[in-house]
């Protein structure tokens, strides 16, 4: 039976996780729509709504949910209003949200209050910031859970969700990295104007609970990278509060050794990661995708605290210049055994298989807290 699946995406990162699942649902015969909002709509972050529009066989609805300077509560309120209007008119069979962003919280809230089934992707994980609070809220609001690991499944059950509603599929973005990217490194470098062949990747996002210190953290972190004499491709931070201070630090970097890119197409980013000497910063890619590819990564600060335990992942504070310098000296270009703690790159197939089950669609919408035995 054909169903209408409505995927909500607010960032380049969550689209990278949702796209493989949406493609699998589309190929299984379901109707797929993307509600596109958040960073996707902003020129400063690469206007990545264009990436969603390039996906064949789907429908796209765009909604501008913020202006520069809007607080997260304001963004939440605007997204709830816009998303509510859309689902009231189109009444999807399933709303699909990912992770811990404010847009996902809006989508899960709207689905719950309108008694529409919803699937939460990658719940049950820990990260140590307010993002974790949003993620657990989404778990409690959603009716179905597609998690990346057995450990995550256990945390979702600890939140009172029944085991029958939880499906372990792995991290969907690993599906992108599990095969050839389809582009060459030379093509990636030419497309994005990357002048060096030996490079690390740096991504440093704001931590909303540490806004007052984000400028100092960014200055210290990027200052140590600059002092190393190494070359880095820097992906711009997301639009959370505190990003302006990070952009200010980036503006002071030597442009001959730091190539700042607002956003990258996923195939290009995959090829760039596969050939990187290392990855540093606080992006989830450093604790999930880098270990899967065997790339050494340095997790900086609190944004991904306790999220990964792979042997290729190291950690320190942004102010620990000795630890950062030591990592670059010992791990630059060092390859590790691939880690499959977040899956083997088959999430989309498993997602489609669950959608093909009559039991999935028969599950009721009235939630009840399931006590652990």
Q: For the segment 162-192, what is each residue's pLDDT rounded down to a tens digit?
A: 999 999 999 999 998 998 999 999 999 999 9
Maximum pairwise Cα distance, the chain: 59
**pTM for the complete prediction?**
0.88
Considering the chain, what percentage of its residues have pLDDT values greater than 90?
87
User: What's the start-to-end Cα distance of the chain, in Å?
Assistant: 36
CB 336 within 8 A of CB 314: no
**CB-CB neighbours of 373 under 10 Å:** 4
DSSP helix/strand/coil, 257: coil
Query: Residue 280's beta-bridge partner residues?
Result: 202, 298
- Among the listed ranges 10-14, 91-95, 106-110, 124-128, which one has the minimum average pLDDT value? 124-128
Q: For residue 227, give Cα distances in angstroms to 221, 232, 233, 317, 320.
A: 10, 12, 15, 17, 13
For 14-43, the pLDDT digits (tens) are 999 999 999 999 999 999 999 999 999 999
pLDDT at 184: 97
Q: To the nearest 10°, the Cα dihedral for 222, 225, 226, 229?
A: -170
Q: Which helix (H) or strand (E) holds 85?
A: helix 72-90
Burial of residue 271 (number of CB atoms within 10 Å: 0-12, 13-18, 19+): buried
Instruction: Give pLDDT, residue 249.
Output: 96
Residue 114: what pLDDT?
96
Domains present along the chain, CATH in parentheses: 4-177+344-362 (3.40.50.2000), 185-331 (3.40.50.2000)
83 pLDDT band (50/70/90 cuts)? very high
- pLDDT per position as a tens digit, 295-327: 999 999 988 887 778 899 999 999 999 999 999
Residue 46, pLDDT score: 87
Query: Which letter, b or e, does each residue of 141-170 get, where b requires 16 or more Cβ atoms within 10 Å of its Cβ?
Result: bbbbbbbbbeebbebbbeeebeeebbbbbb
Judged against a pLDDT cut of 90, whether residue 254 lies above it is answered with yes
For the residues 120-133, what does the mean pLDDT come to? 88
The backbone region for 344, taken as left when phi is positive above 0, alpha when psi lies in -120 to 50, beta otherwise, is alpha
């Amino acid at each position: 039976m054909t169903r209408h699946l409505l995927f909500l995406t607010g960032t380049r990162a969550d689209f990278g996780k949702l796209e493989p699942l949406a493609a699998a649902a589309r190929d299984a015969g379901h109707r797929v729509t993307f509600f596109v909002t958040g960073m996707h709509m902003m020129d400063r972050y690469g206007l990545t709504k264009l990436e969603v529009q390039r996906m064949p066989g789907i429908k796209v609805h765009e909604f501008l949910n913020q202006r520069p300077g809007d607080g997260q509560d304001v963004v939440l309120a605007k997204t709830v209003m816009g998303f509510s209007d859309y689902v009231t008119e189109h009444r999807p069979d399933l709303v699909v949200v990912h992770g811990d962003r404010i847009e996902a919280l809006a989508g899960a809230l709207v689905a719950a209050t309108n008694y529409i089934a919803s699937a939460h992707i990658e719940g049950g994980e820990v990260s140590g910031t307010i993002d974790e609070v949003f993620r657990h809220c989404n778990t409690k609001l959603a009716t179905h859970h597609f998690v990346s690991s057995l450990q995550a499944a256990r945390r979702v059950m600890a939140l009172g969700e029944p085991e029958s509603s939880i499906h372990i599929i792995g991290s969907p973005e690993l599906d992108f990295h599990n095969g050839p990217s389809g582009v060459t490194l030379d093509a990636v470098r030419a497309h994005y104007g990357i002048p060096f062949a030996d490079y690390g990747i740096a991504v440093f996002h704001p931590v909303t609970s540490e806004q007052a210190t984000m400028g100092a953290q960014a200055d210290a972190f990027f200052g140590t990278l600059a002092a190393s004499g190494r070359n880095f491709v820097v992906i711009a931070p997301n639009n959370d509060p505190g990003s302006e201070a990070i952009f200010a630090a980036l503006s002071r970097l030597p442009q001959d050794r730091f190539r700042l890119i607002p956003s990258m197409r996923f195939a290009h980013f995959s090829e760039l990661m596969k050939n990187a000497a290392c990855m540093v910063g606080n992006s989830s890619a450093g604790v999930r995708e880098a270990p899967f590819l065997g790339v050494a990564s340095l997790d900086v600060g609190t944004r991904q605290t306790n999220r990964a335990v792979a042997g290729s992942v190291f950690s320190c504070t942004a102010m620990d210049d000795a630890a950062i310098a030591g990592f670059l000296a010992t791990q630059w270009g060092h390859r590790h055994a691939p880690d499959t703690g977040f899956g083997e790159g088959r999430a989309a197939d498993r997602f489609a298989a669950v959608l093909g089950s009559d039991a999935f669609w028969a599950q009721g919408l009235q939630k009840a807290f399931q006590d652990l035995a």
